[in-house]
């Protein structure tokens, strides 16, 4: 095994897959999880669970654990974590790479409206139908005053900040036909989702197009500056370079 040690900031399927690939390549790898998921999928890497305590805490961890390089493979909407990672790595002098999902591109038949925040989405939704499928469960307070019926899907059991909401607990990856059948059975009028990109969450977009449903997409934050990889293969090559003796 390589003497170098790589920290992968995770919480996504891409992060887990990358961490396993790094281990298979003989690289000492730590996969960091925030701890929001009660039963995360197993990984062959060493798994660390819980927050770091901001920039200062992550800086201390990087030094104490002798981390040689860091790959940020967190969710595209985890902007604060990514910003903290950039600042901590710069402070300590640890090379950092961002694993950035490919953005979704609309095709013929897609009815997408991209918005900057949920406040903007809340202003549009009443004119688009009564039954809204929401593909995430966090930060929904901006929708609470709407006279609409919501179906909210979340990966873990728990409530949502909406009085009139049916909660579905399920975890992807999902497939188009199952998503289409779900939307049809629930009589969904419009889908609200985050523009996360990648392949694992694409099925709902394809299902909505198949049914002719409009989609409101929350624009994802710009990734922090610095080196980026658009695929796990690129990230693995970068890690190999930094793990070389």
What CA–CA distance (Å, rounded) separates 125 from 215?
A: 10
Q: Are residues 165 and 119 in the same domain?
A: yes
- Regarding whether 97 and 129 lie in a shared domain, the answer is no
Q: Evaluate whether residue 175 is within a structural domain.
A: yes
Residues 227, 196, single domain; the answer is no
Question: Could you tell me if 65 and 118 lie in one domain?
Answer: no
pTM, 2 dp: 0.89
CATH number of the domain residue 230 falls in: 3.40.50.720
Residue 116 lies inside a defined structural domain of this protein: yes
Buried b (16+ CB within 10 A) or exposed e, 16-31: bebbbbbbeeebbbbb
The answer to whether residue 107 is domain-embedded is no
Q: Which domain range does residue 228 map to?
A: 2-102+222-243
Same domain membership, residue 125 and residue 214: yes
> Does residue 234 sit in the same domain as residue 172?
no
The count of residues in the chain is 245
Q: State the CB neighbour count (10 A cutoff) for residue 210.
A: 15
Pair 24, 82 in one domain = yes
Give me the percent of the chain exceeding a pLDDT of 90.
Answer: 80
Which one has a higher pLDDT value, 214 or 45? 214
Give the span between the Cα atoms of 147 and 5, in whole angstroms: 52
Instruction: Decide if 94 contacts 67 (C-beta within 8 A).
Output: yes
Euclidean distance between CA atoms 32 and 40, whole angstroms: 11
Are 42 and 23 members of one domain?
yes
Q: Which residue has the tokens 């396993």?
A: 20
Query: How many distinct structural domains can be found in the chain?
Result: 2
* 41 within domain boundaries: yes
Predicted confidence (pLDDT) per residue in 126-164, tens digit? 999 999 999 999 999 999 999 999 999 998 888 888 988
Same domain flag for 161 and 204? yes
Q: Are residues 75 and 161 in the same domain?
A: no
CA–CA separation, 8 and 19 (whole Å)? 7
Distances (CA, A) of 187 to 76, 109, 111, 243: 29, 19, 17, 52
pLDDT tens digits, one per residue of 92-121:
999 999 999 999 999 999 999 999 999 999
Which tens digits make up the pLDDT trace of 192-204? 999 999 887 899 9
- Token readout for 37 is 């998921």
88 in the same domain as 8: yes
Q: Based on the fold, state whether residues 152 and 210 are members of the same structural domain.
A: yes
């Amino acid at each position: 095994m390589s003497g170098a040690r790589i920290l992968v900031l995770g919480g996504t399927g891409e992060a887990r897959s990358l961490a396993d690939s790094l281990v298979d390549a003989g690289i000492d790898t730590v996969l960091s999880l925030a701890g929001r998921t009660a039963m995360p999928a197993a990984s062959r890497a060493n798994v660390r669970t819980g927050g770091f305590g901001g920039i200062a805490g992550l800086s201390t961890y990087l030094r104490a654990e002798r981390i040689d390089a860091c790959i940020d493979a967190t969710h595209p909407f985890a902007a604060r974590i990514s910003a903290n990672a950039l600042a901590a790595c710069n402070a300590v002098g640890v090379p950092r790479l961002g694993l950035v999902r490919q953005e979704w591109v609309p095709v013929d038949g897609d009815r997408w409206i991209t918005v900057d925040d949920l406040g903007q989405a809340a202003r549009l939704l009443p004119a688009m139908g009564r039954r809204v499928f929401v593909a995430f469960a966090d930060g929904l307070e901006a929708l609470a005053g709407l006279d609409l019926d919501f179906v909210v899907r979340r990966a873990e059991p728990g409530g949502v900040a909406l009085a009139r909401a049916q909660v579905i607990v399920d975890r992807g990856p999902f497939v188009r036909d199952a998503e289409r059948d779900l939307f049809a059975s629930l009589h969904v009028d419009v889908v609200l989702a985050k523009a996360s990109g990648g392949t694992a969450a694409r099925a709902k977009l394809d299902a909505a197009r198949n049914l002719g449903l409009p989609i409101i997409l929350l624009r994802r934050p710009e990734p922090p500056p610095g080196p980026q990889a658009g695929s796990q293969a690129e990230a693995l090559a970068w890690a190999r370079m930094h793990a070389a003796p």
